[in-house]
Amino acid sequence: MKVLWIALANLRRMFRVRTNIFFVFVFPMVLILILGATFGGSASPRLGVVTTGSGPLGAALLRQLEQTPHLRVAAVSDPAALLTQVERGNMAAGVVIPPGYDGAVRAGHTVTLRYLARPDQSSQRLGETVRGAVARQAALLGAARFAVVQHAAPSFSVGLARATKISPVVPAVSVTQATAGTALFSRTLGQFDEGAWTELLLFLSSSP
């Protein structure tokens, strides 16, 4: 019983010192919050896309990128700003759709998009994802252009509309996906859970 009184007196003395309250309660919470916000949740990389002056086709490509799973797309207005963001690590990579993209594609030229990436693994990987999305767009654009060249469509827009309309029904080469193995962490873990239990351990062992 006396033990309880001693404990109580010590607790009271400890909490009189405000900074103890900070270190025991506030600091761990803030740490978990920041860790969770930064690292938890979707690990999707951020891709910056510049579409200034690229016309409706450029906008269509942007939409295609946005619909790509596991990718967070942010529109950026200026290539120089995008480069800085990528260099600093604020964006995982960047895509610059050049101005005049729309016109060039309709006219039958091959347009080159610039993929800004740092020379490290994750940027390179992201490049493959970007290429996949671009290829899907290119299929439609190529079909439209071919139709025009073969005089099967009066204009690019008509060709594109037709290609877009029939694309779902054309027998396609598809890719199916399956997974193998058992998961290490349960899917039901929330964004903050991993950070939370490690922080609990850390602070339990560090509290005097």
Partner 1 sequence: MRAAWLICLKDLRARLRDRSAVLIGVVVPLGLAFIFNSIFSGISGASVINLGVVNADHGAVSQQFTSHVLPAVGRSGVIAIHPEATVTQARALAAKGKLAAVIVIPAGFSARVQAGQPASMQVIGNVDAPISAEVARSITESFAADLNRIRLSVATVAAGTTPLSPAQIQALAARAAAAAVPVAVNDVSAQTKELDQKSFFAAGMAVFFLFFTVQFGVTSLLEERNDGTLARLLAAPISRASILGGKLLTSFLLGVISMTVLAVATTLLFGASWGNPLGVAVLVVAAILAATGIMALIATLAKNAEQAANWQSVVAVILGLVGGTFFPVSQAPGVLSRLTFVAPQAWFLRGLGDLRGGSISAVWIPALAMLIFAVVTGGLAMTRLKRLAEM
Q: Among 99, 100, 138, 203, which residue interacts with partner 1 (rule: CB under 8 A)?
A: 138
**Residues within window 173-202 making contact with partner 1, judged by CB under 8 A:** 173-184
Which range of residues in 6-14, 26-34, 47-55, 199-207 is near partner 1 by CB under 8 A? 26-34
Give the shortest CB-100-to-partner 1 separation in angstroms. Answer: 13
Q: Can residue 128 be called a binding residue for partner 1 (CB under 8 A)?
A: yes
Specify whether the CB–CB gap between 83 and 39 falls below 8 A: no
CA quadruple 189, 192, 193, 197: dihedral, nearest 10: 170
Residue 54 DSSP one-character state: -
The footprint of partner 1 on this chain (CB under 8 A) covers a number of residues equal to 87
Q: Among 140, 192, 193, 203, which residue interacts with partner 1 (rule: CB under 8 A)?
A: 140
Structure tokens at 12: 């009271």
Neighbour order of strands in the sheet with 93-96 = 72-76, 46-50, 93-96
Which range of residues in 1-9, 38-46, 47-55, 199-207 is near partner 1 by CB under 8 A? 38-46
Which range of residues in 7-15, 47-55, 131-139, 200-208 is near partner 1 by CB under 8 A? 131-139
Q: Among 52, 115, 191, 203, which residue interacts with partner 1 (rule: CB under 8 A)?
A: 115
Q: What is the rounded distance in angstroms from the CA atom of residue 174 to the CA atom of residue 179? A: 17
Residues 76, 80, 83, 89, CA torsion sign: negative
Q: What is the rounded distance in angstroms from the CA atom of residue 150 to the CA atom of residue 143? A: 10
79: nearest Cα among 44, 112, 115: 115
Q: Among 166, 189, 200, 202, which residue interacts with partner 1 (rule: CB under 8 A)?
A: 166
Which range of residues in 6-14, 20-28, 47-55, 199-207 is near partner 1 by CB under 8 A? 20-28
Q: Can residue 28 be called a binding residue for partner 1 (CB under 8 A)?
A: no
**Residues within window 53-92 making contact with partner 1, judged by CB under 8 A:** 61, 69-70, 83-84, 86-90
Q: Among 149, 189, 200, 202, which residue interacts with partner 1 (rule: CB under 8 A)?
A: 149
Amino acid at 39: F
Query: Tokens 């860790």 label which residue?
Result: 35
For partner 1, which is the closer residue by CB, 4 or 42?
Answer: 42
Specify whether the CB–CB gap between 101 and 70 falls below 8 A: no
